[in-house]
Structure 1
Amino acid sequence: MAKCAGCGKKIGFLEAGSNGFCSTCAYLESLEPEVVEQINLKAEIEADVDAILLTTETVPNLNITKRIEIVSAECAFGMNVFKDLFAGVRDIVGGRSEAVQKTMRDSRKAALYELKREAYEVGANAVVGVDLDYVELSSAGSMVMLVASGTAVVIEVQANE
């Protein structure tokens, strides 16, 4: 195993190529410095978006110092024909549909990330009272929308006594 000369990630000898970079770092090396700076700035913002999400209003060691506003995120996901077909078979014979479950899981992750991003944009570091609502958009069940909502707040973490 080799290590990338840029980020230090372990890479295979075939991936390293002649310059010793992983594919991501090799791509970044080929870009203009201004573009790399924009990418790095976006990555910093993405790291800051990691807000706390709670389905309850309060937790003993978190002190809400400011309630900002209600935030929401909506994600609509469609399942392709093959997922619909296999889900229809599962509907007849019974059992779990992994394809549908994966779509629902992906939509939940996307909606919660968007909710965190919305909270970050209004200056919050947490969202309390988070609620998830699933809505079927088509009668065939091939389009599902997930709405995540909650109250954007600023919290201060207190040490346990």
Structure 2
Amino acid sequence: MIVTTTPSVEGRRIEAYLGIVVGEAILGANVFRDLFAQVRDIVGGRSSAYEASLAEARETALRELQERAAKLGANAVIGVDLDYEVINNMLMVSASGTAVRLG
């Protein structure tokens, strides 16, 4: 499945717009506690543990997005947007886009 932040896929015609799809992943409060406990992991101002957790959450959100698009019969998701929100000491990663069928 093609997943892109652009509003179209170059060289491909959009045959049908199938709807908005969303995928979410939430990192719980324990993740923050565990990450802050690993301060020694920070090298050069970056925490590889924190980055790995964010990458896992982003991949989960994008996988959910693709699964929901596939259920609609899509072969691509266009206009994908990734959002990161902190809610009650939890980090939510949300991916949204438009499921389409390309010709």
Q: What interval of TM-score do these two structures reach, taking the shorter chain for normalisation? A: 0.7 to 0.9
Amino acid at match of 1:144: L
1:85 pairs with one of 29, 34, 37: 37
Which residue of the partner structure matches residue 9 of structure 2? 59
Amino acid at match of 2:48: E
Structure 1: any 5+ residue segments left out of the alignment? 1-50, 157-161
Please identify the structure whose Cα radius of gyration is greater.
1
CA change 1:88–1:145 in 2 (3 A) is farther
TM-score by length of 2: 0.86
More helix by share: 1
Which residue of the partner structure matches residue 21 of structure 2? 71
**CA RMSD, Structure 1 to Structure 2 (Å):** 2.1
Contact 1:55 1:128 in 2 (8 A): yes
Amino acid at match of 1:97: S
4+ runs deviating over 6 angstroms? none
TM-score by length of 1: 0.57
Contact 1:87 1:100 in 2 (8 A): no
Structure 2: any 5+ residue segments left out of the alignment? none
Instruction: Calculate percent identity across the aligned residue pairs.
Output: 40
More strand by share: 2
Residue 107 of structure 1 aligns to a residue whose secondary structure is helix
Compute the displacement of 1:52 (Å): 0.9
Task: Give deviations 1:20-52, integer Å, cap 9, x for gaps.
Answer: xxxxxxxxxxxxxxxxxxxxxxxxxxxxxxx21
Instruction: Tell me whether 1:148 sits opposite 2:95 in the alignment.
Output: yes
Q: What is the number of equivalent residue pairs in this alignment?
A: 101
